[in-house]
Structure 1
Amino acid sequence: MPVQFLTVEQRADYGRYVTEPRPMDLARYFHLDDTDRQFIAGKRGDHNRLGFAAQLTTVCFLGRFLDDTTQIPANVLNALARQLELDDPVRCIANYHDQRQRLRHIEEIRAHYGYVEITERQVGYRLTRWLYVLCWTGTDRPSVLFDRATSWLITHKVLLPGASTLERYVARLRSRVEERLWQLLGRGVSPDQQARLESLLVVPTGSRRSELDRLRTGPVMISSPSLVHALRRLHSVRELGVRLPTTARIPATRVAALARFAGAAKVSAILRLPQARRVATLTQNEVSPRLCRGTHQGLTYTAVVVNLKSRPRDEVHDERVSKLESCPLGL
């Protein structure tokens, strides 16, 4: 997968105030309890007290400290000023921005409230284990995993790293999960079976479709020729002699997602895949148990309808035929 998957807008909004926080956010993240007020009361000057409170609540809400405290929204400053009983919060925060005291305040907040860096060994292990489970059991997009990792860091008082750092971290972890999936699916495929699967991608001379495209095309009409076509299709699949690896240890969502890709991807796209992924994709394509179930279901519908159409027609018979013809083939 690509290492860079964030849009320019997502990268610009990362760890910043995009809009003014909602009233519910103000009540949750910007409320100062008695312990906070007692700690803030020891700071000299209104600008230091407001600036310290702004840094404290900002890191709680965004997960990082701001280099420019003048970017803090007005409703946040007004909410903090009311709690601290301060006047003119705009002037106070402007004076605070020009002071070096804010760097010392950052260190005090980190030490007193327990904020740590992502480079901490225990933090990295917990995040990796949690995010690996999400990747293995789900099919979320990289941008969704990025947002969930950001929320996890903020919840566990871990300062957000740079956007590129977290982006590369998510991309590498997701790639590890995908490689493990491909290896498990291709573990039970012998070299001879792999060669048979690869041959499905070859376009015969004088033909415009590969064998894979032919096998993926099921009957579209309920008729006797369609029944013969379905039987020949099933026979061709069985002739491959591919014994599928067990997928008991693989989440069903991952197998289903790979099967959907295999059923819709063009042959040229499958040929460009890495070998491990190509083999895993082919095992979940037309030679998967999903095809056999769908083929048997289609044959059942077709055989029943052909049998009914060969009998004398009456009103009840016509109604049963119309109902069966409206049923999907499941291919």
Structure 2
Amino acid sequence: MILVTGAGGGMGRALVRDLHGRGVDVRAFVKNEHQATTARRDGATDAVIGDIRSSGDLTAAVAGVERIFHANPTSVVREVTIAEALVAAAQENGVGHIVYHSVIHPDIAEMFHHQEKGRVEDVLRESAVPTTVLRPSHFMQNYLDFWEFLRGGTLPYPTSPDSVMGVVDSEDVSEVGGRILTSPVAEHAGRTYDLSTQELTRHEMATIWGDVLGHGVSAVRLPPDVVKNPLRGVGTAGVVLVKSLRANAVHAPVQVLRGLVQSSNAKGVRSWPEESRDCYVAMMNYYDRNGLPAGDMTVLPALLGRPATSYREFAVREATRRGSPVTSSSR
């Protein structure tokens, strides 16, 4: 049995599906009954509802499992005590391997979220439990929160479109997680892996989406603090509408309206604790000024045994999944 924490998130769900496809029994640790139902539908053998900040809930979830994939929810930024409780439960139950979902460049001082994951890496390495650390880049999926805007002709995001971002497909990351969790422990124990595919500005991402969808797509900068103060995005809404009308005049008004509704509480950020929202804004401010370099881009293909999914391949796949026509030249 493999325990997947954070199994209600996009990354966790993809891993549950991957492990189910490998014929492995999976226990999903989730925060409510809705996520539990979804996890079982994804293929989880068992679903445990609890608060990841509760050592008692973690201990109950770990009982009887052989390996753990630990992905902390984005809304919970203080991770060290959680990791310590997880290690204690793993040692008590004889868990043979922990795979930790960290982040690329955990040493960046300006982002508490990144540095906290570095501290968790230290906790895990210093434990007696064999550990593997995955350091993924910025997920390609993050921009799907703005899907309706994309259909309308814009790609808004709370960072500069000129910032260069290292990106990776979270489904590639979940496949790597599945491969590692079903391999002999000694093959990956003690290893830290960068998981990066390519570097792109959001202008370049928008161009790819335009090629795939068959109409112009323009990257638009939202103020990084719009997640805390939606009124900061009012001025940008006019820019989005104008660019959308130029790209897709017939459908733009409806899609912009749908986009505003869809993205108004992306990732449930409005319900996050104040500290978590502050950390998210700090992260967006850093990306706005500096971007986020990719890690070693040779690692992911080697772990997958195939080329990593490119941003264009990702865009074609996601548009197809959503029933959107895809230009023949992009296939």
What's the TM-score, normalizing by structure 2? 0.25
Larger helix fraction of residues: 1
Larger strand fraction of residues: 2
What's the TM-score, normalizing by structure 1? 0.25
| Higher RCO (CA < 8 A, seq sep 6+) | 2
Q: Larger radius of gyration, structure 1 or 2?
A: 1
